[in-house]
């Protein structure tokens, strides 16, 4: 039996070949409306959770995890079997792994804190104007 199961969450890609375990606490959670996230995930925006890299354990027994260099110094991790977009890492946020919250199989330890890259938000997808979250251009002050 493994201890601390309340302090972690499991997640995976669509086919399940790439899975991961995150150990709380997270660093932040934010909705990203940048055009790269939109295209990589085929969605209006992507809700990311930021974690210290050492708090993330990735299990990839079939070596399906691929990293695509989406911009200089930044990579997006996806499953080569099913195509799920799972991870983001970059020199700008060295030491952090960002994980798409939609791929978690359980609850997150905090609520979303902001909308970022709001300047490119999709006009065809509604967000709750009363969600109380700041809408920042670019990545915000963090
Ligand atoms: Zn997969
Ligand atoms: Zn983004």
Ligand at shortest distance from the CA of 20: 1
Q: What is the pTM of this model?
A: 0.93
The predicted pLDDT at position 141 comes to: 61
Question: Is the pLDDT confidence value at 140 over 90?
Answer: no
Which residues sit opposite 75 in a β-bridge? Answer: 69, 89
Residue-wise pLDDT tens digits, 52-73: 999 999 999 999 999 999 999 9
- Predicted pLDDT at 80: 98
Is cis: bond before 25, omega within 30 of 0? yes
Asked whether the predicted pLDDT for residue 26 surpasses 70, the reply is yes
The pLDDT value recorded for residue 6 is 75
35 sits in the region (left: phi over 0; alpha: psi -120 to 50; else beta) called: alpha
The pLDDT of residue 5 is above 90: no
- Measured in angstroms, how far is the CA atom of residue 86 from the centroid of ligand 2? 12
The alpha carbon of 113 and the centre of ligand 2 are apart by a number of angstroms equal to 15
Task: Supply φ then ψ for residue 119, to 5 degrees.
Answer: -60, -20
Which top CATH class is 8-120?
A: mainly beta
Q: Ligand 1 centroid vs 135 CA: distance in angstroms? A: 32
How many other CB atoms are there within 10 angstroms of residue 57's CB atom? 12
pLDDT score for 2: 55
Break the chain into its structural domains and give their ranges: 8-120
**What's the chain's Rg over C-alpha atoms?**
15
CA 50/CA 47 separation, integer angstroms: 10
């Amino acid at each position: 039996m493994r201890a601390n199961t309340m302090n972690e969450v499991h997640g995976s890609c669509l086919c399940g070949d790439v899975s991961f375990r995150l150990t709380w606490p997270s660093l932040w959670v934010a909705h990203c409306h940048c055009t790269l996230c939109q295209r990589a995930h085929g969605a209006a925006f992507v809700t990311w959770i930021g974690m210290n890299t050492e708090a993330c354990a990735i299990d990839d027994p079939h070596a399906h995890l691929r990293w695509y260099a989406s911009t200089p110094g930044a990579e997006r991790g996806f499953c080569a079997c099913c195509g799920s977009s799972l991870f983001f890492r970059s020199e700008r946020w060295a030491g952090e792994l960002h994980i798409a919250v939609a791929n978690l199989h359980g609850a997150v330890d905090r609520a979303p804190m902001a909308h970022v890259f709001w300047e490119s938000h999709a006009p065809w997808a509604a967000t709750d104007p009363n969600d109380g979250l700041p809408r920042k251009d670019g990545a915000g002050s963090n």
